């Protein structure tokens, strides 16, 4: 941001000096032309002219000195004001440049810090251009996919998808352009061909007027394994509970049969099933 030159606000010293000279020359010319005519009109005796000429000269010196004093003083004040204004403008400009430089350094430091965080992040971070090509990837992406960063640049998001999930790419790509972004699970593939489950968080970001996608990809293979184990354990527990209940019901039925046979033989029932009978009665209600 520039600062307007002081010459637009305060008269330049050279122009001011020229004005002083012109004013002085004009005054001197008028003085010379009018003073002689005035003396001739006022003094008829030539003998008095010599003294009058001396007085006129002294008066001329006094008046022109006063005039020069006023003009030079105004010139010096104008020059001082111009210098002060120029100095103030230079100070303001220097402070503005320092602030801009400091802000630029802060932004660069913040950008460097963010780049470091992305680089050392455990999750895969991909920056994808509007055509779907990867333009930047972090270290975790190299380790997860087996491709170097140079190889990943220029690959497309389809190149990372497992074949069985290829049909979802277009829908998820369009969804990532929304304000809320997109979060989904899918399957990616390694350079050697093996596949692994991932969770993808994608969002559109504008860079130099173009809509890029930034994706944070997390390998959820271990989480899927834990979920599968928990599911298997729950199924096993459910089967065990069902078998236990069935055995208990079979035991109750057997005890009822024994009690019934004992009654038929004139004996007392060997098993107390009063609690079971109460529970069945409550259940029937």
Q: What is the CATH number of the domain that holds 131?
A: 3.30.450.20
81 shares its domain with 132: no
Q: Answer yes or no: pTM beyond 0.75.
A: no
User: Which pLDDT value is given to residue 9?
Assistant: 47
Q: Per residue in 236-280, pLDDT tens?
A: 888 888 887 778 777 878 888 888 888 888 888 888 777 777 666
Domain membership flag for residue 41: yes
Average pLDDT, the chain: 81
Q: Which of 163, 196, 219 is the last residue of a domain?
A: 219
40 shares its domain with 110: yes
**What domain range is 243 assigned to?**
226-284
40 shares its domain with 88: yes
pLDDT cut 70: percent of the chain above it: 82
Domain membership flag for residue 1: no
Per the CB < 8 A criterion, the answer to whether 58 and 31 are in contact is no
Mean pLDDT across 118-123: 85
Per the CB < 8 A criterion, the answer to whether 160 and 189 are in contact is yes
The pLDDT-based confidence of 111 (bands split at 50, 70, 90) is: low
Residues 6+ apart with CB under 8 A from 122: 140
Q: Which of 97, 116, 135 is the last residue of a domain?
A: 116
Residue 262 neighbours by CB distance under 10 Å? 14
Domain membership flag for residue 274: yes
194 shares its domain with 127: yes
106 shares its domain with 141: no
**pLDDT surpasses 90 at 45:** no
User: Which pLDDT value is given to residue 121?
Assistant: 86
Domain membership flag for residue 131: yes
**3-class secondary-structure state, position 154:** coil
**3-class secondary-structure state, position 106:** helix
Domain membership flag for residue 279: yes
Q: Which of 166, 188, 219 is the last residue of a domain?
A: 219
* Spatial distance between the Cα atoms of 107 and 64, rounded to a whole number of angstroms: 63
Burial, 124: exposed, middle or buried (Cβ in 10 Å; 0-12, 13-18, 19+)? buried
273 shares its domain with 197: no
38 shares its domain with 105: yes
Task: Identify the residue with better confidence: 4 or 216.
Answer: 216
Per the CB < 8 A criterion, the answer to whether 217 and 124 are in contact is yes
10 shares its domain with 112: yes
36 shares its domain with 111: yes
Domain count within the chain: 3
Burial, 259: exposed, middle or buried (Cβ in 10 Å; 0-12, 13-18, 19+)? middle
């Amino acid at each position: 941001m520039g600062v307007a030159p002081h010459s637009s606000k305060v008269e330049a010293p050279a122009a001011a000096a020229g004005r002083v000279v012109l004013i002085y020359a004009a005054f001197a010319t008028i003085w010379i032309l009018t003073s002689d005519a005035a003396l001739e009109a006022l003094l008829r005796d030539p003998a008095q002219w010599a003294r009058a000429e001396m007085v006129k000269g002294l008066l001329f010196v006094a008046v022109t000195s006063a005039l020069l004093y006023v003009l030079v003083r105004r010139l010096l004040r104008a020059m001082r004001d111009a210098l002060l204004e120029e100095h103030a403008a230079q100070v303001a400009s220097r402070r503005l440049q320092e602030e801009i430089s400091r802000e630029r350094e802060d932004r660069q430091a913040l950008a460097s810090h963010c780049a470091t965080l992305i680089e050392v992040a455990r999750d895969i971070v991909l920056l994808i251009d509007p055509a779907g090509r990867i333009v930047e990837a972090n270290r975790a992406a190299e380790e997860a996919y087996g491709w170097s960063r140079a190889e990943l640049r220029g690959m497309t998001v389809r190149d990372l998808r497992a074949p069985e999930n290829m049909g979802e790419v277009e829908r998820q790509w369009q969804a990532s352009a929304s304000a809320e972004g997109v979060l989904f699970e899918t399957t990616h593939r390694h350079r050697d061909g093996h596949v692994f489950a991932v969770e993808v968080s994608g969002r559109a970001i504008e860079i130099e007027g173009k809509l890029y996608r930034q994706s944070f990809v997390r390998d959820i293979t271990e989480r899927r394994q834990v979920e599968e184990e928990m599911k298997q354990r729950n199924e096993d527990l459910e089967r065990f509970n069902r078998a236990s209940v069935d055995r208990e019901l079979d035991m109750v039925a057997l005890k009822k049969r024994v009690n019934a046979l004992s009654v038929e033989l004139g004996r007392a029932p060997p098993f107390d099933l009063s609690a079971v009978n109460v529970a069945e009665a409550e259940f029937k209600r």
